[in-house]
């Protein structure tokens, strides 16, 4: 994931700045630039892993500077990773194998493509943007390399996906140990910007490692204590019985009486009798004359 991303970024920039616009020159320039950039980033990552291992008192710290093996060593520093509630003990090993396969196929694709551009010429691009060498009527070694290049271009997509998943699991475990509050954000960053993992590991090297489960347990306990103190100010009703009618044990307030819509005709809203003892019936004066 890292090597492929570095090459793609290098190729994008070199394609803009190279004077000779032939593909073979652009590929060769991108390979040189990507190799130099990868070396710098790899050293930064190695320094970060080495410092983390030293703080933990680990042995064989030099493995931090060995390609591919450093992922296995990171897995040793992380320990178990949690995947869908299940514990994965060898995340570093799986990430190492995935990166070896992806990098091998990617290098084979670049080498064969460069050879064909130099010895065969410019091919026609297919609908996916990959070079179609079969349109150039090639035979022998060139035809065999063209088939290898075509297979590599499709296999690499699957391997990069697998590598990305394994790398995300491994890096998430590392970030939980060294940056528990921001581990999700850092994981998202390396998914969208894979080469950022080298720099992130370097920046986290001097942090004190913690137990993520103990950290979360302490946060939950602190939250519950805070809630207990809050509700104790209201009589402590909610923590004991969250479903009772009056959780804060406050005295009920009297409900206001509805207003009388006919108060302007003499009613006061207090029942059937007015203040002077007479009925609130608005037509009483008429009823006395007609019905008595």
Whether 133 and 267 map to the same domain: the answer is no
Residue 236, in any domain of the structure: no
pLDDT at 223: 81
Residue 161, in any domain of the structure: yes
Whether 266 and 140 map to the same domain: the answer is no
Q: Mind giving me the DSSP string for the chain?
A: -HHHHHHHHHHHHHHHH-SS--HHHHHHHHHHHHHHHHHHHHHHHHHHHHHHHHHTT-S-GGGGGSTTHHHHHHHHHH--EEETTEEES-HHHHHHHHHHHHHHHHHHHHHHHHHHHHHT---EE-TTS-EEGGGG---HHHHHHHHHHHHHHHHHHHHHHHHHHHHHHHHHHHHHHH-TTSHHHHHHHHHHSTTHHHHHHHHTTTSPP--HHHHHHHHHHHHHHHHHHHHHTTTSHHHH-TTSS-TT-PPPPPPPPPPPTTGGGT--SSSSB-TTS-B--TTHHHHHHHH-
Whether 11 and 155 map to the same domain: the answer is yes
Whether 269 and 189 map to the same domain: the answer is no
Domain final position from 210, 229, 250: 210
pLDDT tens, per residue, the chain with 292 residues = 678 888 888 888 887 777 677 888 888 888 999 999 999 999 999 999 999 999 988 989 999 999 999 999 999 999 888 777 778 888 899 999 999 999 999 999 999 988 888 888 877 777 766 777 777 777 888 888 888 988 998 898 899 899 999 999 999 999 999 998 898 999 999 988 888 999 999 999 999 888 888 888 888 888 888 877 776 665 554 454 444 444 444 454 555 555 555 455 454 444 444 444 444 444 444 444 444 4
pLDDT at 71: 94
Domain final position from 187, 210, 233: 210
Whether 133 and 278 map to the same domain: the answer is no
Whether 266 and 189 map to the same domain: the answer is no
Q: How many domains does the chain have?
A: 2
pLDDT at 44: 95
Residue 34, in any domain of the structure: yes
Residue 45, in any domain of the structure: yes
Residues forming a β-bridge with 82: 87
Residue 244, in any domain of the structure: no
Residue 247, in any domain of the structure: no
Residue 255, in any domain of the structure: no
Residue 237, in any domain of the structure: no
Whether 41 and 172 map to the same domain: the answer is yes
- Classify burial at 69, counting beta carbons within 10 Å of its beta carbon; exposed 0-12, middle 13-18, buried 19 or more: middle
Whether 271 and 182 map to the same domain: the answer is no
pLDDT at 241: 47
Torsion of CA 80, 85, 86, 89, to 10 degrees: -10
Domain of residue 171, residue span: 2-210
Residues forming a β-bridge with 83: 86
Domain final position from 210, 245, 279: 210
Query: Contact, 116 vs 131, CB < 8 A?
Result: yes
Whether 117 and 187 map to the same domain: the answer is yes
């Amino acid at each position: 994931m890292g090597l492929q991303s570095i090459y793609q970024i290098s190729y994008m920039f070199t394609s803009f700045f190279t004077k000779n616009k032939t593909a073979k020159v652009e590929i060769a320039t991108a390979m040189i630039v990507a190799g130099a950039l990868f070396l710098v980033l790899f050293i930064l990552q190695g320094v970060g892993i080495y410092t983390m291992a030293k703080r933990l008192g680990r042995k064989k710290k030099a493995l931090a500077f060995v390609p591919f093996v450093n992922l296995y060593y990171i897995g040793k520093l992380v320990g178990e990773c949690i995947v869908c509630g299940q514990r994965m003990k060898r995340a570093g090993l799986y990430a190492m194998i995935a990166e070896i396969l992806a990098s091998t196929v990617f290098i084979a694709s670049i080498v064969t493509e460069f050879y064909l551009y130099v010895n065969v010429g410019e091919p026609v691009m297919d609908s996916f943007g990959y070079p179609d060498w079969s349109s150039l009527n090639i035979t022998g070694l060139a035809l065999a390399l063209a088939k290898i290049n075509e297979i590599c271009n499709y296999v690499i997509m699957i391997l990069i996906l697998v590598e990305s998943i394994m790398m995300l699991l491994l890096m998430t475990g590392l970030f939980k140990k060294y940056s528990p509050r921001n581990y999700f954000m850092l994981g998202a960053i390396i998914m969208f910007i894979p080469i950022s993992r080298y720099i992130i590991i370097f920046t986290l090297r001097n942090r004190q490692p913690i137990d993520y489960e103990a950290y979360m347990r302490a946060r939950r306990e602190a939250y519950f204590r805070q809630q207990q103190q809050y509700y104790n100010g209201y009589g402590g009703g909610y923590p004991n019985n969250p479903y009772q009618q009056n959780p804060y044990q406050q005295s009920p307030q009297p409900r206001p009486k509805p207003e009388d819509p006919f108060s302007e005709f003499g009613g006061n809203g207090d029942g059937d009798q007015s203040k002077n003892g007479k009925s609130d019936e608005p037509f009483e004066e008429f009823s006395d004359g007609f019905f008595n």
